Chain A
Amino acid sequence: MEKFKLHFKRISKHPFFGFVLFGLALSLIPIFNNFLPVSFVDSAAKTLIYFIVALGFALLIGYGGLASLGTSSFIAIGTFAIYTVMDLLNMPFALAILIGVIVALMVGVIFGFVSLRIEGMYLAIVTLGLSEIMIELFKNFDKFTGGVSGTTFSSFRLLGQSLSTNQTFFIIIIAVVIAMILTYNLINSPTGRALLAAKNSDSAARAMGISVIKYRLIAFMVSTVYAVIGGMFYMAYIKFSMGSTWGLAVSLNILAAVVVGGSKSIWGVFIGTFIIFGLDLMVFQQIPFLSQGAFANFSFVISGVLIIVVVMYYPSGLIGLFKKMTFKLKNKLAKKSKGERKS
């Protein structure tokens, strides 16, 4: 028993322990989905999908110090890639991932290389142009995208088996945990450190032998791949995608989620995604007064204000604020207990 306890202690200290526990906690949602409102489960799934996308974006913005406005275009590429491969060509999911990733990497390399060669700031401009191009492309390639009216997805298959919504939810949870683990690995690797060094001082990083453009491009590529994968799960779960919905607003909301929660912490990104997407989808959209009419975009205002406040006063995001608060609280408690002991 003693030995088991020791063992458990060692495992629980492992950084992946939290991620797996998180996954287990999430799987309560599909398990008890009979007792939960449908809208809640759907919103949770959407939030988790955006969380995957946000994790990739966090590497770009928190470690690379770069902002991109093309995220929604890459999500859209993911949705249409899975539709084309699985529905039109009747091929397996793995091939969809492969093709989606290759397309995203090709597009990403072109736009990333051109802009990052000049200066990091140009990435946002060029990817804004990319989203304009993509909207046109989605309209014109109506065979693969359904053109203006969008397209529906028949069924998500894995290993030849058609999955129910609930089963898809489980797959999404597994993907989330994997994404968290991979992101953790990457930010604690030489790549993560090289990105931080380049963000901190371009010239110092180069003097240390870091090819700045290479690592920035890697960060951008990773964020595009995460977005494409997120898009695929979106299609697998929601089963509908329309080119024109993937505009600037989605990209900006993902940016907001990452910045608000804390772009350098995986849990921070989750908190941000939960606030920006989760609260909106689960709470605000369910209230008719807030989901229609003049208040339809009410949540945008919140996101915008939060972005500005966080950038101005809490550069490490809400997670940084929480950490500071708990630290202070602990100090206070420690002081108190000390005082009690004295008396």
Chain B
Amino acid sequence: MYIIELIINSILQSGPLALATFAIVLIFRTSFTTNFAQGMIGTVAAFITTYILMPSPDITGNVPSPTFLTYLIAISVGIIVSFIISMLVDIVIFRNSKYITPVGKQIVTMGIVLIITGLIPFFFGISDRSLPRIGANLEGTFIDTILLSGVEGLRDIGIFVKYHMVLGFLISFIIIGTLFIMLKYTRWGLGVRATASNENVASMMGINTRFITAMSWAIAGGLGALAAILISSNKGTFGNVTVYFMVAIQVQAFFAAILGGFSTFHGPIIGIILLTFFKNLFTSYLNPWGNTVLYLFVLLIVLIKPLGLFGKKIAKKV
């Protein structure tokens, strides 16, 4: 029973993480680089959300729950800001530097990490901020009853899951599902797939690759923001939003992408689920060496399968 509970909880937990992973893969596929600034851009969104909800942090440690509507507005503002910042990165920086290499792009995103790290205390103060749980303000609504019955049903058969985790997972699931559908059926999705397989050919076929990449950056920024908000609010503790809180998450997302292979979209998603499961397993049995064992384990797998578990080899023209 314990192992089933662990599996279910891992899947629930990996929902918001999958958003961050998907964003990384999306950028990798359209811009051929890894975006290190994604976590930081998400952190900005989390800070903005806390700022709108609570202009000054509560000292008692109690996180008051705002109303559903204010919460929604706060989250939306955060996501939109990240969306715009991320899009600007592509439009202002990458579009204006013609001969930039993939590693050059990586370095630019690292520069953005530095800028945001420096700017956050300037805008939001030096103390850590808190984000309340998202599920705390749904009482009495239709979603609440469904969720509550689900959680209680599981509890009856001996599996304990947390209400807000289920909610976070559902939101992530819906969004990732929508994105997969978009990838398959919309013009943007077609453009992304074409750009991913060959940018030059795609642009020759009349696909507006500039729009596609800008949109991908924007969507990735929005996803990163939502991931940051969900993850920090899931903790529900005082001071859960700090400058560096997304770094560890970002590492997980990257390793999930390596584990699943950057060449597909579904691989990394499965990768993050596996990674979360093993992380929980290792941290409960091998504490305090959980993370160390986990990442070395991933490296071992990558050593055997360099392209990841679901990676496909792409023959390069020489």
Contacts and interface: CB of A to CB of B under 8 A. Distances in A.
Q: Do A and B bind each other?
A: yes
Interface of A: 61, 65-67, 69, 110-111, 113-114, 117-118, 120-122, 124-126, 128-130, 132-133, 136-137, 139-140, 203, 247-249, 252-253, 255-256, 259, 293-308, 311-313, 315
Given A110-B299, A140-B288, A312-B96, A300 B106 contact: no
A300 B115 contact: yes
B115 A305 contact: yes
Contacts of A303: 111, 114
Contact of B113 (A111, A293, A296, A304): A304
B110 A300 contact: no
B115 A304 contact: yes
Contact of A124 (B106, B118, B257, B307): B106
Nearest to B292: A133
B247 interface: yes
Interface of B: 33-34, 36, 93, 96-97, 99-104, 106-108, 110-122, 125-126, 244, 247-248, 250-251, 254-255, 257-258, 288-289, 291-292, 295-296, 298-299, 302-303, 306-307, 318
A121 B27 CA distance: 14
Given A247-B244, A296-B121, A304-B112, A114 B254 contact: no
Q: Which of A128, A256, A308, A315 has the most CB of B within 10 A?
A: A308
Contacts of B121: 293-297
Given A139-B288, A248-B247, A295-B122, A118 B117 contact: no
Contact of B114 (A136, A137, A256): A256
Nearest to B295: A129
B255 to A, nearest CB: 6
Contact of B106 (A113, A121, A293, A312): A121
User: From DSSP, what is the main secondary structure of chain B's interface residues?
Assistant: helix
13 contacts: A67-B106, A118-B307, A124-B103, A126-B258, A128-B36, A129-B295, A248-B113, A252-B113, A253-B114, A293-B126, A307-B107, A308-B93, A315-B104
B114 A252 contact: yes
Contact of A259 (B99, B107, B244, B299): B107
B114 A307 contact: yes
Contacts of B126: 293-294, 296
Nearest to B97: A312
Given A125-B257, A129-B295, A133-B296, 7 more contacts: A61-B103, A128-B254, A133-B295, A136-B292, A299-B118, A303-B111, A304-B115
Nearest to A276: B114
B110 A252 contact: yes
A133 B295 CA distance: 8
Nearest to A296: B121
Contacts of A65: 101, 103
Contact of B291 (A120, A133, A304): A133
Contacts of A315: 99, 104
B244 A248 contact: yes
Contact of B302 (A118, A124, A256): A118
B3 to A, nearest CB: 25
Nearest to A303: B114
Contacts of A124: 34, 36, 103, 106
Contacts of B303: 113-114, 117
A132 B291 contact: yes
A256 B110 CA distance: 9
Contacts of B289: 136, 140
B294 to A, nearest CB: 9
